[in-house]
Chains A and B, each alone.
Chain A
Amino acid sequence: MSLTKAKMAEALFDELGLNKREAKGLVELFFEEIRGALENGQQVKLSGFGNFDLREKNSRPGRNPKTGEEILVSARRVVTFRPGQKLKARVETYAGSE
C-alpha cells in the first residue's frame, strides 16, 4: 500500500469537508506548483517536511549499461530532496519489517 493523490484528496474531503472535485484540484495544484517552482530554478522549502533543492551536474563519462558502449552523460540540472529535522525524527524510529 502506498499513499497516492487519490488518498490525499480523500482526506481533504473527509477532514476539511471540501467537495471531491475541489479536493482533487487542490492536490493536483499542490504538486504542480512545486514542479513549476523547481522548473523555474527555484528551491522549495516546506518547513517541517523538507527542502527540494536543485543541483547542476557537470557532464561526465559514462557507459550504456546494456551495450557497454562509452558515452558522455551531458550536463544537467537535477532535483534532490533534503528531509527536515522533524520528518527525519519521525521516520528514524520506524521499526519496520522491510
Chain B
Amino acid sequence: MTKSELIEAIARQQAHLAHRDVELAVKCILEQMSQSLAGGERIEVRGFGSFSLHYRPPRMGRNPKTGEPVALAGKYVPHFKPGRELRERVDKRYQESLKNV
C-alpha cells in the first residue's frame, strides 16, 4: 500500500470529506510525525506502536571507492516498536494462513 492508496482508502470511508482534505490530512500527520522525531520527540500511538530515536556512536568507516578510512560522527536513527494490537493482528492472520496450507 502506497501513500496515495492509503489516501484513497481513507477517502472511501470519509465520503463527506473532500478528497483534497484527506490528502492534506495524511500529509499533515506524516509531517508532524517527521518533525517530532527530527526534534528528538517520541511518538506514541496506543495499539499501533511507538517511534523513538536510537543513538549510533561515532565509528571509523571506509570510503568504498578508495578504501580510505573516514571518521563517521555519532548519529540518531528512527526506531519503531509495534504495539500489542498491531503485533497480535498481524500474527493472528499469519497463524491462520499457516493452518490452512
Contact = CB atoms under 8 A, between A and B. Distances in A.
Given A18-B25, A81-B78, A49 B41 contact: no
B10 A29 contact: yes
B76 A35 contact: no
A91 B78 contact: yes
B63 interface: no
Interface of B: 1-3, 6, 9-10, 13-14, 17, 21-22, 24-26, 28-30, 32-34, 36-51, 53, 55, 75-80, 82, 85-87, 89-95, 97-98
A91 B1 contact: no
Contact of B76 (A47, A75, A91): A91
A50 B41 CA distance: 17
Interface string A4-32: 11011001100110100011011101110
Contacts of B40: 94, 96-98
Interface centre among A1, A30, A43, A47 (most CB of B within 10 A): A30
A8 B48 CA distance: 14
A45 B32 CA distance: 17
22 contacts: A2-B41, A2-B43, A3-B33, A11-B28, A16-B21, A16-B25, A16-B28, A26-B10, A30-B6, A33-B1, A33-B10, A39-B89, A46-B2, A47-B2, A49-B30, A77-B94, A79-B80, A79-B90, A81-B79, A87-B78, A91-B77, A94-B40
A87 B45 contact: no
B53 to A, nearest CB: 6
Chain A interface bracket (under 10, 10 to 19, 20 to 34, 35 or more): 35 or more
Contacts of B76: 91-92, 94, 96
Nearest to B40: A96
A42 to B, nearest CB: 5
A79 B25 contact: no
Contact of A3 (B36, B86, B97): B36
